[in-house]
Amino acid sequence: MSALPAFAAIQVGDRLPPLTKAAVSRVQLALYAGASGDHNPIHLDDERAKAVKLPGVIAHGMLTMAFLGQLVASWVPLTQVRSLGGRFAAMVRPGDVVACTGTVAAKTSAAGENRLTIDITAETAAGEKAVIGQAVVAVR
């Protein structure tokens, strides 16, 4: 985790250090299926995925969302994360490298603490925005 500047020093428009994940692998999908309990065959079996008109196996959306959680948690401790959410916008497939970015969108005070709203995005190397979301974190 990098050292987080004080709330007063953070500006709207500041960017979090980016996080690039290695190419998604089929082993990673199988491990995520086991850890999450999501054994939907579209994440594990090409033929079953193609039977429902997908191009083949796709990554779990929540795996990609977890990458964004890792981005935020690499900047602030988990105890300071107040919310994390996103909208699934494109598919991630085995072999895709996913780049996660965040930009400070707002500074506020709520519940007696200073908070930052961060726009977060997970994007494939092909330029498809897979998840678009926001996180809210507390800072000193």
Give one DSSP letter per residue of 11-43, joined into a string: -TT-BPPPEEEPPP-HHHHHHHHHHH----GGG
What residue spans define the domains of the chain?
7-24+59-139
- What pLDDT sits at residue 111? 87
For the entire predicted model, the pTM comes to 0.94
The 10 Å Cβ neighbour count of residue 100 is: 23
CATH topology of domain 7-24+59-139: Thiol Ester Dehydrase; Chain A (3.10.129)
Tens-digit pLDDT string for the chain (140 aa): 656 779 999 999 999 999 999 999 999 999 999 999 999 999 999 999 999 999 999 999 999 999 999 999 999 999 999 999 999 999 999 999 999 999 999 999 988 999 999 999 999 999 999 999 999 999 98
